[in-house]
Structure 1
Amino acid sequence: MSNIDKQALTDEAISKAFAGTNFGRDDFKNILAETVIDAAAGWRCGYTATTICTQLGLLTPKGCASALGLRFISEHVQRETKRLKDELEAKDRRLEEEIGRANREHHRGFMMACGHLKEHSNVHYADAAEMEIAAHRKRINELEAREVKLPERYEVDMCPTPSPDGEWYSREDVLSALVSAGLKVAAAGKGEVS
């Protein structure tokens, strides 16, 4: 992405573009990504969302996804994946700390009640914690491994024709690619932003 494109898509510029609108939510980057995905798939989107995407250069004046729009989708998916990974890692750290604390308290209680119990008496709790931590790490690795391969592009003059330089993607192909990558896709009705 060039410096001009990066400057155009700052949080401040996006918030300014949405000023005075009422989408009933404030996750503007998600709204932009959803609009570009729908446009790339050939669906008509709401006027306001389409206008904002066009002004920001995410859609062409014809309402097709621009190269910047496709890069924006890709980066948005990467950001969301990283955010989810970071959340899981934070939960993993909190879980490890809580398990360590619980094990120490459990061990101390046993030691006080039965002075002859040794430290390894609560190994089964540690095993359960290790299994849960391993499951969290596996989920993090799965999220890191996800990749969205965009489908074939089309040129639409008289009818859709496969073209590597085309400006159109089949909605079904885009949704299929997202689902194949393990992302949840909420479909909206025609003309709505999903």
Structure 2
Amino acid sequence: MSSQGTARAARIQAETTAAVQRADQRRTARRTAYADVIEQAQKMGDLYWKVNDAHADPDPESRTATLKDLRLRLRDAYATLRHLVRVVELEGPQEAAAAADRLRRSTSDNYQALEDMIGGEADAIQRFNECYAPFWERVVALVAIAREVLQEGAVPAPVPAPRARRPWARHRPGAGG
């Protein structure tokens, strides 16, 4: 192989290695972003369960105090979720960003129902509980989209096909010429 061919092969190998590394870095960044949103949604889901427990407290003063504490905790959890969703929007792709944003938006009805529980509305707990299923469906949808995106990203980058050899580029001894 000529030095020109060796240099070209080395360049192709370097480009391929760099492309694989970039794809791996993008996949890792996306995986981290998706996992962070899903983990934060799980934390919010745990707080939603605690709202139900607090609502069952027979002492009205204790119930209201606990619900107010949970409201603050959910507000802080939402702020974190909002930030993490922005990271997913940055990392992409659009399909995952849209799913993460739908998840974020699905929390507003829960929060409003919690506010209404604190305000003493009788049907607020029922509305709160009805909000959980749509919220969790958004979590499951994000997991499915994230899995699909990450599996697509796990496919190795294609290796460029070598160019056709030019017959005049190299003289072979004994080839008649």
Which one has the largest radius of gyration?
Answer: 2
Higher relative contact order (CA 8 A, sep 6+): 2
Between Structure 1 and Structure 2, the one with more strand by share is 1
What range describes the TM-score normalised by the shorter chain of this pair? Answer: 0.3 to 0.5
Between Structure 1 and Structure 2, the one with more helix by share is 2
